[in-house]
Amino acid sequence: MEPSVKKPWGGRFSEDTDSFVEEFTESVSFDKELALQDIKQNLAHAKALLKAGILSEEDYKQIEKGLREIEREVKEGPFPWRRDLEDVHMNIEARLTEKIGDAGAKIHTARSRNDQVATDERMFLKENLEEIVSLLKVLRRTLVILAERTVDVILPAYTHLQRAQPIRLAHYFLAFREAFLKDTQRFIDAYRRIDENPLGSGAVSGVDFDIDRFFTARLLGFTKVSRNSILSTSDRDFIAEVLFCCAITGMHLSRLSEDLILWASEEFGFVDLPDKLCTGSSIMPQKKNPDVLELIRGKTGRLYGNLISILTLLKGLPTAYNRDLQEDKEPLFDSLRTLKGSLIGMRKVLEGLKVRKQNMVSSAGGFALVTDLANYLAGKGIPFRKAHHIVGSLVAYLLEKGKKPEELTLEELKTFSEMFDRDALELLNPERVADRRRVFGGTAKEEVIRALEVAKREEGL
């Protein structure tokens, strides 16, 4: 039988690849997303081959010209992607050889797709993380701007979704700004580990040509060179890390979405969402649905799923490269795309958010104030546990009478404890209660303003 000539490995094979296998194993349908990184990498590798004396000046010039053309074809669309060429790397290499002949066929000297794919992915991730970090920054700034406008808005904080204690709305927005700041730091930290050059690691053991890996690192913008060829051709820890960063950021976005969805309900009536970000119902004319927020919440499921996929993918692999690793791309691409969309969506919602100040403050009184009656007694020397019990029976009394704490008289208070004085009644006001939390990180006005100033400075606002 004629040996197959269709594949780069055809020399060893006596049959053509089964067409099912071609379909099943191809990755070009999705890894072509790495094409521009791959072209850049080819160019850097060609320079290294020239430097090592493996390519002549003439070969190099042709390769450079061919790659420029390919870059244009990829950007403008006419690049002829072929599934039978499996992946982005073989497509680009084959196209180069088609264009320039033998010089193109030399480019695969001293490399493997194993170091190529790891290099492309790291390059791709660096760009994507820069984008995510800047989207996070815009979101944090939006939250700080909202906080600046809402220092004087009082609402109840909920624990167990029961009214707990009054807080300033600015304090709430700054909480999420803080969470997104930590998320940003996690991405930046992951970025440091991504920023190493695997090229020159070959298939697993390094290459036996005089390739200057520090030189290609500089050309590709990596600040470090990976230190072990086995690890750098087979490790996808950096992808797992990024997927974790995406998942945790998604979780924050989802919790913020959930609050805003509740707050926009008629029952809460705390906020109005911008019309242009909501949709109506085809049957119920009164409806205005918070779809963007619901989808941010829903898409968080995928971010988790992608993280679990990659961790599961990696757990049983023998060292070093295995084809299983090709399955790293779709979860990665999906999470990056999903998170970027959610970050933009959340920013748009926040920018158009209308706060219904009156509804917020009128929910912040009542029983949300009574912790401070217990604290008042504790401040007068009654052990807190006893004070809590006293105020507990006061609550039971009020519930039975159908009265609010604000309607209490001093006489009534005194029947629960002689320690209550007139100033205890003055406590029963949401703003005053909030402003008693003067502790570092608390919700008192002066503390919120201090935290706001710090946040503004940190965000360059």
Q: Are 110 and 193 in contact (CB under 8 A)?
A: no
* Least distance from ligand ARG to the Cβ atom of residue 326, Å: 4
Q: What is the residue whose two structure tokens read 């919120």?
A: 448
Q: Are 419 and 377 in contact (CB under 8 A)?
A: yes
281 belongs to the catalytic site: yes
Instruction: Select the residue interacting with ligand ARG from 325, 343, 364, 377 (CB under 6 A).
Output: 325
* Least distance from ligand ARG to the Cβ atom of residue 319, Å: 14
Give the dihedral of Cα atoms 115, 116, 121, 127; nearest 10 deg. Answer: 120
Q: Which stretch binds ligand ARG (CB under 6 A): 164-172, 248-256, 271-279, 322-330?
A: 322-330
* Residues pairing with 354 in the sheet: 272
Rounded-to-integer distance, Cα 419 and Cα 440, Å: 29
**165 contributes a contact to ligand ARG by CB under 6 A:** no
**12 contributes a contact to ligand ARG by CB under 6 A:** no
**171 contributes a contact to ligand ARG by CB under 6 A:** no
Rounded-to-integer distance, Cα 398 and Cα 401, Å: 5
Closer residue to ligand ARG (CB): 113 or 445? 113
Rounded-to-integer distance, Cα 360 and Cα 430, Å: 11
Element (H, E) at 114: helix 113-149
Q: Which stretch binds ligand ARG (CB under 6 A): 6-14, 113-121, 342-350, 417-425?
A: 113-121
**92 contributes a contact to ligand ARG by CB under 6 A:** no
**236 contributes a contact to ligand ARG by CB under 6 A:** no
Rounded-to-integer distance, Cα 375 and Cα 369, Å: 11
Tokens standing for residue 257: 């979405």
Instruction: Select the residue interacting with ligand ARG from 117, 273, 353, 387 (CB under 6 A).
Output: 117
Could you give the C-alpha distances from 255 to 143, 164, 177, 295, in angstroms and in order?
15, 18, 13, 12
* Least distance from ligand ARG to the Cβ atom of residue 82, Å: 14
Written as one letter, the residue type at 350 is L
Q: Which of 173, 342, 187 is nearest to 254 (CA)?
A: 342
Choice among 134, 265, 281, 393 that is catalytic: 281
Per CB under 6 A, contacts with ligand ARG among 16-55 are 27, 31
* Least distance from ligand ARG to the Cβ atom of residue 42, Å: 14
**87 contributes a contact to ligand ARG by CB under 6 A:** yes
* Least distance from ligand ARG to the Cβ atom of residue 123, Å: 14
Q: Is the dihedral of CA 237, 31, 300, 343 positive or negative?
A: positive
* Least distance from ligand ARG to the Cβ atom of residue 234, Å: 10
**71 contributes a contact to ligand ARG by CB under 6 A:** no
**315 contributes a contact to ligand ARG by CB under 6 A:** no
Closer residue to ligand ARG (CB): 117 or 211? 117
Instruction: Select the residue interacting with ligand ARG from 95, 106, 113, 299 (CB under 6 A).
Output: 113
Q: Is the dihedral of CA 307, 308, 310, 311 positive or negative?
A: positive
Q: Are 45 and 107 in contact (CB under 8 A)?
A: yes
Positions annotated as catalytic residues are 160, 281
Which residues of the chain form contacts with ligand ARG (CB under 6 A)? 27, 31, 87, 113-114, 117, 321, 323, 325-326
